[in-house]
Amino acid sequence: MMDNLSVKIKNIEIDNFKNTIHGALSLDNKKSESHNSVLALFGQNGSGKTSVIEGLEILQSVLQGRPLNPSVLNYINVDSENFHLKFNFSLSDCNAVEVYEVSYEFKVKQNTDISEATLSLNEEKLPEIYDEILSLTIRNESSKKGKKQTLIRTNVSSAKDVFLPRTNYDKLFGGNENIKQELIVTKLLAKNQSRSFIFSNKFASLIIDKNKNAIFPAIIKRLKLYAQTQLFVISTSNSSLISLGALPLPFKSKNASGTVFLSLAEPNKIPAQIFKIYSNVIDNMNIVLNKIVPKLQVGIVSRKTVFDENNNEIRLVELTSKKNEKEIPLKYESEGIRKIISVLYLLIKVYNEPSITVAIDDLDSGIFEYLLGEILKIISTAGVGQLIFTAHNSRALETIDKSFIAFTTTNKENRYTRLTNIKTNNNLRKYYYRAIELGLTQESLYDETDNAQIEFTFAKAGK
């Protein structure tokens, strides 16, 4: 029922996450005629831009039912014992006759119930996902406001309850004691494995199997599918890999999606069926690439075919670039060209598919500012998907609508803001710099630096 509904993130809220006590961002742009959603986040170094991308990366793992990396414990603010993330989604068909507004929030802390002996074996403290809440509001012609209802809340005070509200539990599972015991074990396993209980594969399969036609399990199934095949998060680690001679190449087919990291230094071993998928991905990419970088095309060349121990066909492939009929290994192209190639396929998907969400940290890194501005202008005016990115280069401030742009502030309790009362003929880029210099905004946008002090410390450090 819901598999064909488009999914979009409408709001992001983070609390006690790194240097942000509280921050909230809305991605709901009512001005957009194409129903797309772009969020460009700008701000000072170390001001909380990357936290949004990292929050989405955590969301993706949680919705997929995967365990959280122990490193996420480092995201907990130094003055707090946990961090809290909240996301609002909109699920709707192309006509938006009926809209399902889904809210999902959770907290993450260190799992203190694991014994010291276990910790010494693992050598790492493990995170725990807890206080999960999944809520739903249905809006349609007869009920435009809708009534918000809590579908499931994992924080319970009684050992008799697996989750609340009890009325929802009874509707879904009744009084079956065997299923209840199975759910208790599933919840404990999810806790000790740093997984979400609501989106764990075991809970999802139980609830879908027992309630095939109910809205609740359909929502869980749709959000899991979204995280697996339609949500892509490109962190700065991807850019680091490009510098080290690897190319993260995302792909999406009817049956699978993900990112494969291909070496630029040596041939890559790829199953024959994956080779066909990537050949198609690169063919589609080249349609756009040679318009962005004139006369440039990328190739994936099969150098040799071998068979593994199970007699599966394996291709040894190399990525190449071709310009003016001259073909060279892609590793000899500039880092900027490799960056464009690594994100271009996803930008094509954002332009064409309404359920695609792509989040990219430091999108502008290595890309010529004029070219970046033109690409963003096209996607923001005619794309149908969702693009979230951080950047330092302010060229985008001149090419996309101000409603798509947010800024970080120096206030850790109100980390994100938008500029208001800006006339349509104002240059947002100039206004932003003027706001920094003159303090024109309610929240400070820049933690002031003293040029004289910087000059003095340069001289002092050089002695």
Distance of alpha carbon 109 from alpha carbon 77, whole angstroms: 11
The answer to whether 352 and 384 are in contact (CB under 8 A) is yes
Q: For the whole model, what pTM was predicted?
A: 0.91
Q: Which residues are within 8 A (CB) of 9 and not within 5 positions of it... i.e. 6 or more apart?
A: 27, 37, 56, 87, 88, 89, 357, 386, 388
pLDDT at position 117 is: 47
Local structure of residue 52 (DSSP, 8 states) = H
Hey, what amino acid is at 340? I
SS3 for 258?
strand
SS3 for 278?
helix
Q: Which two tokens stand for residue 171?
A: 């509707």
C-alpha to C-alpha distances, 134 to 112, 163, 180, 346, 394, nearest whole angstrom: 25, 11, 20, 29, 37
Distance of alpha carbon 63 from alpha carbon 220, whole angstroms: 9
pLDDT at position 141 is: 66
SS3 for 395?
helix
What are the helix and strand counts (H, E) for the chain? 12, 18
H or E element at residue 87: strand 82-92
Give residue for tokens 């075919």.
305
Nearest by Cα to 7 from 145, 106, 101: 101
Give residue for tokens 């970080």.
408
Distance of alpha carbon 186 from alpha carbon 183, whole angstroms: 5
pLDDT at position 135 is: 97
Distance of alpha carbon 385 from alpha carbon 6, whole angstroms: 9
Q: Chain centroid to CA 17: how far? A: 16
Q: Chain centroid to CA 450: how far? A: 36
Per residue of the chain (463 residues), give pLDDT as tens.
677 899 999 999 999 999 999 999 999 876 655 556 899 999 999 899 999 999 999 999 999 999 999 999 999 999 999 999 999 999 988 776 789 999 999 999 999 876 554 555 556 789 999 999 999 999 886 666 778 999 999 999 888 899 999 999 998 888 889 999 999 999 999 999 999 999 999 999 998 887 767 888 999 999 999 999 899 998 887 666 666 567 767 666 665 666 777 888 788 888 888 888 888 888 989 999 999 999 999 999 988 998 888 898 999 999 899 988 889 998 888 888 888 888 888 899 999 999 999 999 999 888 888 999 999 999 999 999 999 999 998 888 999 988 999 999 999 999 999 988 888 788 899 989 888 888 878 889 888 878 888 888 888 888 7
Distance of alpha carbon 243 from alpha carbon 253, whole angstroms: 27
The answer to whether 388 and 28 are in contact (CB under 8 A) is no
CATH top class, domain 1-230+353-463: alpha beta
Boundaries of every domain in the chain: 1-230+353-463, 244-344
Q: Which two tokens stand for residue 405?
A: 């742009």
Distance of alpha carbon 98 from alpha carbon 75, whole angstroms: 37
The answer to whether 294 and 272 are in contact (CB under 8 A) is no
Distance of alpha carbon 420 from alpha carbon 186, whole angstroms: 48
Distance of alpha carbon 105 from alpha carbon 195, whole angstroms: 14
Local structure of residue 295 (DSSP, 8 states) = T
pLDDT at position 265 is: 78
Give residue for tokens 């509707």.
171
DSSP 300-366: EEEEEEEE-TT--EEEEEEEEEEETTEEEEGGGS-HHHHHHHHHHHHHHHHHH-TT-EEEETTTTTT
HSE of 332 in the Cβ direction (CA atoms, 13 Å)?
9
H or E element at residue 226: helix 215-229
Q: Which two tokens stand for residue 71?
A: 């490193």
